[in-house]
């Protein structure tokens, strides 16, 4: 994997050095007497770093919750606690080792700007596989990785289902949040915002959006948060947004991301469809009645695909013409409520 942008090394008089040397590193092996921890910024982020010990090669991921984006100490501490607990909960469901693995938390330190340290997950990112399918003709590999990912989600969701019905209201509220953000950046006109609100309300009235059982969802199922090492092996991390919801929250997010990648890089509205259909069909195979499960899932997927496309469209790095394309496709998805 790429180590990201090299920033230097942790100074020995930095409290972080002592924490890594004495509390984190011994969990994965014996640290050298004069350990030297290199620092790399990951994905141009200001709060997620890779630490690599120069002599042993040991690597750890460090995520600071108190940073430029979250300066409030109490909020940062709450976010750290939430993600740490999510990692523990998912690993407690048996998602450790092959074929399904959730990153192991190695420590949390509230005094060090609410720092979470986890093991590193090696492998090829789903985003890399998608781009290779688009640009290098590696479609079969993407089909295989989507089969593996569908298996992972089915195990996570089925093992964490409870007796409570889905509360669809938070998803409706989140749609309003996205609409307001798009209005603020002039990505939407008021008339379009009104249409999106009307479409959201139609979905809110659909009984099927409320009747499934709650499961634990990843909550940020993007192609940057899953890695593959061959076969059915999948690993995941970044569980800050994990929560209880409709299982299609995760499934629809992946479908929407596939739509986005293929639309952006090929210009075709239909290019992602074979992969989306394959992913949903493979997910459905892990239920006693595959056809019934497939019908139920595909009846709910358009809503979650639609809000995924709106979620992507609200990013500042999206060009205005492509933002308009994403919004158009989001509306096309949301119109399929009947």
CATH number of the domain enclosing 149: 3.90.1200.10
Q: Are both 67 and 143 inside the same structural domain? A: no
CA–CA gap between residue 152 and residue 82 (Å, rounded): 22
Count of the separate structural domains present in the chain: 2
The domain boundary residue, chosen from 65, 90, 119: 119
CA–CA gap between residue 242 and residue 253 (Å, rounded): 13
Q: Which has the closest alpha carbon to 250: 133, 150, 180?
A: 150
Condensed to tens digits (0 to 9), the pLDDT of residues 53-99 reads 999 999 999 999 998 777 899 999 999 999 999 999 999 999 999 99
pLDDT (0 to 100) of residue 3: 67
pLDDT (0 to 100) of residue 68: 78
Condensed to tens digits (0 to 9), the pLDDT of residues 16-35 reads 999 999 999 999 999 999 99
The backbone region for 64, taken as left when phi is positive above 0, alpha when psi lies in -120 to 50, beta otherwise, is: beta
Q: Are both 130 and 110 inside the same structural domain? A: no
Q: Are both 68 and 173 inside the same structural domain? A: no
CA–CA gap between residue 279 and residue 244 (Å, rounded): 22
Start-to-end C-alpha separation, the chain:
44
Taking residues 208-221, what's their average pLDDT? Answer: 97
182 near 193, Cβ under 8 Å?
yes
Instruction: Count Cβ atoms within 10 A of the Cβ of residue 116 and give its class: 0-12 exposed, 13-18 middle, 19 or more buried.
Output: buried
Q: Are both 156 and 305 inside the same structural domain? A: yes
Q: Are both 103 and 203 inside the same structural domain? A: no
CA–CA gap between residue 189 and residue 252 (Å, rounded): 26
Residue 326 has pLDDT above 80, yes or no: yes
Q: Are both 32 and 95 inside the same structural domain? A: yes
Per-residue confidence band for 200, with pLDDT thresholds at 50, 70 and 90: very high
Q: What average pLDDT does the structure give for the chain?
A: 96
Q: Are both 94 and 169 inside the same structural domain? A: no
CATH number of the domain enclosing 28: 3.30.200
Q: Are both 113 and 43 inside the same structural domain? A: yes
Q: How far is CA 336 from CA 64, 72, 200, 247, 306, in A?
A: 41, 41, 11, 19, 10
CA–CA gap between residue 45 and residue 7 (Å, rounded): 12
Please name the residue that has the structure tokens 């720092």: 115
Residue 303 has pLDDT above 60, yes or no: yes
**Residues in the chain, total:** 338
Q: Are both 167 and 293 inside the same structural domain? A: yes
Joined together, the tokens standing for residue 3 give: 């180590």
pLDDT (0 to 100) of residue 71: 84
pLDDT (0 to 100) of residue 338: 79
Taking residues 26-51, what's their average pLDDT? Answer: 90
Give me the helices (H) in 231-318, please.
248-266, 273-284, 290-313
Condensed to tens digits (0 to 9), the pLDDT of residues 123-170 reads 999 999 999 999 999 999 999 999 999 999 999 999 999 989 999 999
Q: How far is CA 258 from CA 110, 149, 274, in A?
A: 37, 13, 10
Condensed to tens digits (0 to 9), the pLDDT of residues 231-251 reads 999 999 999 999 999 999 999
Condensed to tens digits (0 to 9), the pLDDT of residues 255-281 reads 999 999 999 999 999 999 999 999 999
Query: Which range of residues forms the domain containing residue 141?
Result: 124-334
pLDDT (0 to 100) of residue 45: 61
The domain boundary residue, chosen from 119, 139, 167: 119
pLDDT (0 to 100) of residue 225: 96
The domain boundary residue, chosen from 102, 119, 136: 119
56 near 35, Cβ under 8 Å?
yes
Q: Are both 189 and 285 inside the same structural domain? A: yes
pLDDT (0 to 100) of residue 67: 84
Q: Are both 239 and 154 inside the same structural domain? A: yes
Q: Are both 210 and 168 inside the same structural domain? A: yes
Residue 1 has pLDDT above 70, yes or no: no
Taking residues 308-336, what's their average pLDDT? Answer: 97
């Amino acid at each position: 994997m790429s180590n990201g942008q090299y920033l230097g090394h942790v100074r020995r008089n930095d409290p972080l050095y002592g924490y890594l040397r004495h509390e984190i590193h011994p969990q994965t092996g014996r640290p050298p007497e004069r350990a030297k921890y290199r620092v790399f910024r990951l994905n141009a982020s200001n709060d997620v770093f890779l630490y690599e010990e120069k002599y042993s090669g040991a690597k750890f991921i460090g995520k600071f919750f108190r940073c430029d984006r979250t300066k409030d100490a109490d909020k940062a501490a709450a976010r750290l606690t939430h993600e740490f607990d999510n990692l523990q909960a998912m690993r407690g469901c048996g998602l450790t080792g092959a074929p399904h693995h959730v990153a192991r938390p190695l420590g949390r330190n509230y005094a060090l700007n609410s720092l979470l340290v986890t093991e590193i997950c090696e492998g090829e990112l789903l985003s890399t596989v998608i781009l290779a399918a688009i640009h290098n003709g590696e479609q079969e590999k993407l089909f295989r990785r989507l089969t593996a990912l569908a298996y992972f989600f089915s195990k996570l969701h089925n093992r964490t289902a409870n007796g409570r019905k889905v509360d669809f209201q938070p998803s409706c509220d989140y749609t309003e949040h996205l609409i307001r953000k798009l209005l603020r950046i002039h990505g939407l006109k008021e008339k379009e915002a009104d249409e999106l609100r009307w479409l959201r309300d139609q979905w809110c009235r659909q009984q099927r959006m409320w009747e499934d059982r709650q499961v634990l969802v990843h909550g940020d199922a993007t192609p940057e948060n899953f890695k593959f090492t061959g076969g059915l092996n999948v690993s995941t991390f970044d569980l800050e947004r994990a929560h209880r919801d409709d299982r299609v929250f995760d499934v629809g997010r992946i479908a929407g991301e596939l739509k986005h990648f293929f639309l952006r890089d090929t210009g075709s509205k239909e290019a992602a469809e074979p992969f989306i259909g394959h992913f949903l069909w493979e997910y459905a195979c892990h239920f006693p009645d595959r056809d019934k499960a497939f019908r139920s899932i595909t009846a709910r997927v358009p809503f979650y695909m639609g809000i995924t496309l709106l979620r992507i469209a609200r990013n500042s790095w999206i060009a205005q013409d492509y933002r308009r394309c994403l919004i158009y496709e989001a509306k096309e998805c949301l119109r399929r409520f009947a």
